[in-house]
């Protein structure tokens, strides 16, 4: 079996096979490798750190229980994990427009810049982006978030959302156009 601590891309299929067979250590390797992108996806969708952490824990619990049935045709289990996350968010009754969100939502995605002025600009920009994303339809919001904040391929987004790649491309394109229009009115910093 490959080195479980630092799997190479070629070893991922082997690790997945071991995890599907019930190997807890192999599933632990998958957890370590994929918890951050799942968390990023969830925090952007729910906006509350504690809730996002609870959802991510539930995602991996559900994934572990059902991993024997995981269909490993995709290169990584991320679309599978994102589908579970999406369903968990829906199950918890989260809607596109949140009543309260963390104003530093996107700070969870990037490190501290170390400059209070730049941090303030980034926080203001992050808040503006969050509000702009909230104006999109739920599907557009999700497609744009998956494409640009979690860097999913169109194929992975299609698998996660249960749509065709062409439909996803259209959602992303329309979402970006709507964001461009929204940001045309945004303050600019030089």
Residues present in the chain in total: 190
In a domain, 188, yes or no: no
In a domain, 164, yes or no: yes
Q: Are residues 114 and 168 in the same domain?
A: yes
Say what the pLDDT of residue 90 is. Answer: 82
- Domain hosting 163: range is 105-183
Q: Are residues 16 and 82 in the same domain?
A: yes
In a domain, 98, yes or no: no
The whole model's pTM is what?
A: 0.59
In a domain, 4, yes or no: no
Q: Are residues 53 and 126 in the same domain?
A: no
pLDDT at 97 over 90: no
Which of 172, 178, 63, 69 minimizes the C-alpha distance to 129? 178
Q: Are residues 87 and 115 in the same domain?
A: no
pLDDT in tens, 105-114: 455 444 444 5
Q: Which tokens sit at 78?
A: 């991320």
Domain boundary residue among 60, 91, 122?
91
Contacts with 27 (C-beta within 8 Å, 6 or more apart), sequence order: 19, 63, 64, 67
Q: Report the C-alpha gap between 16 and 77 in whole angstroms.
A: 8
pLDDT in tens, 116-160: 555 555 556 666 677 777 788 888 888 888 887 777 788 888 888
């Amino acid at each position: 079996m490959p080195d479980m601590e630092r799997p190479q891309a070629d070893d991922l299929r082997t690790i997945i096979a071991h995890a599907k067979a019930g190997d807890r250590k192999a599933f632990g390797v998958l957890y370590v490798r994929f918890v951050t992108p799942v968390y990023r996806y969830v925090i952007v969708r729910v906006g509350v750190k504690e809730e996002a952490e609870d959802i991510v824990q539930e995602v991996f619990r559900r994934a572990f229980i059902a991993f024997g049935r995981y269909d490993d045709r995709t290169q990584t289990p991320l679309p599978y994990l994102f589908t579970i996350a999406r369903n968990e968010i829906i199950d918890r009754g989260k809607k596109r427009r949140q009543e309260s969100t963390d104003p530093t939502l996107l700070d969870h995605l990037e490190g501290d810049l170390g400059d209070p002025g730049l941090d303030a600009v980034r926080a203001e920009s992050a808040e503006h982006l969050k509000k702009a994303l909230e104006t999109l339809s739920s599907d557009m919001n999700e497609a744009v978030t998956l494409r640009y904040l979690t860097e999913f391929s169109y194929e992975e987004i299609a698998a996660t959302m249960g749509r065709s790649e062409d439909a996803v491309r259209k959602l992303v394109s329309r979402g970006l156009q709507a964001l461009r229009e929204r940001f045309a009115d945004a303050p600019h910093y030089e």
